[in-house]
A = this chain, B = another copy of it.
């Protein structure tokens, strides 16, 4: 029986999490999979205000025994600066649990009009594979000569062979199950040390996957291609920062940024993996009951895949597609042109899952 830690976090994370949990429970049960959710109320800013830290001491052992972490969203910048709340929670999970792959699917869904012209469901379907533990997010560096005209801030980007190779291999393995193409995001014409290093590892790794086609683009023109030719891409592998940018830009192009899921995977299985929507805590709409729960529910599908219940995962995706295709304005949330609520949209999807 898979044990799952549910951590809603802040803002709309708290509102969408119950629907995500319910969707997973319903579909899992129909597939004879007994999932056991335990809820945790740390990793949010109220917890920080009470305890001066985002996570309890010993959180690693508290969570280490779970199969997965189902995560909402964290952060409330009016109260706690983002770099404090994020580095104190989400980024700790990713690092301490060595979730070195961040997976973000980008595709056009029925009923959601993408901002790009002349494109519909089926035209765009790619996967961003982001390095999730090192690179530009290093925390190494400091500020010198503070308060003077000479003041400067330095921060080290660190790419290890181990860290780069393993995420690239994961990307190639994903491509083998898809359309067999990997695109590398680089910037070796400007970032003159780490990025040529990234390129050299890409060349080394690709030689082990002769059946997979490759190309590479500098991040500036790659971002442009996401807008101009999103259909070119199958799997895109990128450093931590570039992957962060591309995995918001991709869903923006497909019109799915408010509903996209993501997985933070520890492929060895030594630690729990973490599943979360791409959207954040959204202070501007929090508390109104109108947050779109699809990102959380779709993340549940990725979690089921990871737990080996792919058929259940696909059922969730189909249920989402069905409800979007039906396009009932009373059901859909305002972000996708409806007048419904988190509850109406979430329950509509869960209803389909019950009947399937």
Contact = CB atoms under 8 A, between A and B. Distances in A.
A159 B153 CA distance: 5
A152 B159 contact: yes
Interface in A135-161: 136-137, 139, 141-143, 148-161
In the A-B complex, the 3 residue pairs with the closest CB atoms: A224-B252, A153-B197, A82-B189
Q: How many copies does the complex hold?
A: 2
A189 B117 contact: no
Interface string A192-207: 1111111000000000
B116 A153 contact: no
Contact of A117 (B117, B141, B149, B152): B117
Given A75-B189, A151-B161, A161-B152, A248 B221 contact: yes
A345 to B, nearest CB: 20
A143 B201 CA distance: 13
B159 A193 contact: no
A139 B193 contact: yes
Interface of A: 75, 81-83, 86-87, 91, 113, 115-117, 136-137, 139, 141-143, 148-162, 187-198, 218-221, 223-225, 227-228, 240-241, 244-245, 247-249, 251-253, 257
A200 to B, nearest CB: 9
B245 A191 contact: no
B244 A245 contact: no
B194 A141 contact: yes
A152 B141 contact: no
